[in-house]
């Protein structure tokens, strides 16, 4: 008699969900909708549609010869400081202001911003703080936060880690586009103070202050002028738009350079014509305490500092020598008491050099 083999019953399958793989859709949507009021508070009468659409809609501004100006950026390893300090409501503001400044130097007024947030594990409170920062800066700059993307990416980012990016769109009339063609040798450089590192040089700053010096994120060393390490490093990137946009129609400003990565040597030449070089006199202002702390504690060469950091001057304006006094008066009347002449343009190779005199 032939023996019949018993039929094996299939092993019940264990259900696997997206959450098991590390992505929590409910937490993501909760984080986004918790920030709905903050996001909608940035909208104006040019915003079209409702919250939650697939794309942000914005009515095109009208102009005789209007140009759209766009830029995308991030905040680099400033995020690592925010994570260490447990403070997440400033990095979105920093990123928005950075993007605003980048199109401002071409004379553009910001219209709308899109954000991108990538996380290792969705934390509703952290994402809500980040979005509140984006929204706050958008309101301050008259810019609508029309949409974005929030992505949970386990395996790419560790739990607790995240990254940010922002894309801004602005507009400028062709006649108002900067830099102007009459930038020339003899023009004056006017510096506007920064609030701190802004969004550049954080890998060096962290290496010196947190690794080499062994400081804790909440320590308050004397050479930071009373600020904690976190406070000094998380100072919000300043937006110059509220100050400068009302002044641009006067025609007093020929060009502007946002002092970001690359410092003075890499950013000022971007707005210079061939045959003109910029000479920045570093003796005309005192660097903020955080920069001096990094330089002295890390033994960082002085030239390296001015190539990496803004050293306390976050925006440089170019004006003719005859109009510079009027521009300075207008800046001071608008509340900017720290504006000052920090150098000049002269004939030479298209470059920017920083001089220190005998100091």
Tell me which residue of 247, 245, 249, 267 sits closest to 315, measured CA to CA: 267
- Strands (E) in 78-218, as ranges, are 109-119, 144-152, 162-173, 188-193
Where do the structural domains in the chain lie, given as residue ranges? Answer: 25-51+63-176, 188-355
Cα distance between residue 355 and residue 93, in whole Å: 33
The CATH code that applies to domain 25-51+63-176 is 3.30.1330.10
Band (pLDDT 50/70/90 cuts) for residue 46 is: confident
CATH superfamily of domain region 188-355:
PurM-like C-terminal domain (3.90.650.10)
Return mean pLDDT, the chain: 91
Residue 358 has a pLDDT of 55
Inter-CA distances, 96 with 153, 170, 213, 238, 240, Å: 23, 12, 31, 10, 12
Band (pLDDT 50/70/90 cuts) for residue 39 is: confident
Inter-CA distances, 110 with 42, 239, 346, Å: 12, 11, 32
Residue 37 has a pLDDT of 78
pLDDT at 138 > cutoff 80: yes
Band (pLDDT 50/70/90 cuts) for residue 65 is: confident
Residues in the chain: 359
pLDDT at 24 > cutoff 70: no
Residue 359 has a pLDDT of 42
Q: Which tens digit of pLDDT belongs to each residue from 171-212?
A: 999 999 999 999 999 999 999 999 999 999 999 999 999 999
User: 38-47, 132-141, 182-191, 218-227 — which is least confidently predicted?
Assistant: 38-47
User: Which are the contacts of 45, defined by CB distance < 8 A and separation ≥ 6?
Assistant: none
More confident residue, 1 or 187: 187
DSSP assignment string, 198-241: TTS-HHHHHIIIIIIS---TT---GGGTT--HHHHHTPPPPP-H
Band (pLDDT 50/70/90 cuts) for residue 340 is: very high
């Amino acid at each position: 008699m032939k023996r019949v083999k018993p039929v094996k019953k299939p092993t019940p399958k264990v259900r696997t969900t997206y959450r098991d793989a590390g992505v929590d859709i409910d937490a993501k949507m909760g984080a986004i909708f918790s920030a709905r009021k903050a996001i909608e508070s940035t909208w104006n009468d040019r915003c079209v549609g409702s919250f939650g659409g697939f794309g942000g809609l914005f009515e095109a501004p009208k102009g005789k010869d209007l140009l759209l100006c766009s830029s995308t950026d991030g905040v680099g390893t400033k995020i690592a400081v925010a994570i260490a300090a447990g403070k997440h409501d400033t990095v979105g503001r920093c990123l928005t202001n950075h993007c605003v400044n980048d199109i401002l130097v071409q004379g553009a007024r910001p219209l709308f911003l899109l954000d991108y947030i990538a996380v290792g594990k969705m934390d509703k409170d952290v994402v809500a703080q980040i979005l509140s920062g984006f929204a706050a800066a958008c309101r301050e700059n008259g810019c609508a936060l029309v949409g974005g993307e929030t992505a949970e990416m386990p395996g790419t980012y560790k739990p607790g880690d995240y990254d940010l990016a922002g894309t801004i769109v602005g507009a400028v009339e062709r006649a108002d586009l900067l830099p102007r063609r009459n930038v020339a040798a003899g023009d004056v450089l006017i510096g506007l103070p920064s609030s701190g590192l802004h969004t550049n040089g954080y890998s060096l700053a962290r290496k010196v202050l947190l690794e080499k010096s062994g400081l804790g994120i909440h320590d308050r060393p004397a050479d930071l002028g009373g600020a904690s390490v976190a406070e000094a490093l998380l100072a919000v990137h300043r937006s110059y738009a509220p100050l400068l946009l009302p002044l641009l129609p006067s025609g007093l400003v020929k060009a502007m350079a946002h002092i970001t990565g690359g410092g003075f040597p890499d950013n000022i030449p971007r707005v210079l014509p061939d045959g003109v070089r910029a000479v920045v006199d570093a003796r005309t202002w005192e660097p903020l305490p955080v920069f001096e702390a990094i330089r002295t504690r890390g033994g960082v060469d002085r030239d390296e500092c001015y190539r990496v950091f803004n050293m306390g001057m976050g925006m440089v304006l170019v004006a003719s020598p005859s109009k510079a006094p009027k521009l300075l008066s207008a800046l001071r009347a608008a509340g900017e008491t720290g504006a000052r002449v920090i150098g000049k343009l002269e004939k030479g190779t298209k470059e920017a050099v920083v001089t220190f005199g005998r100091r």
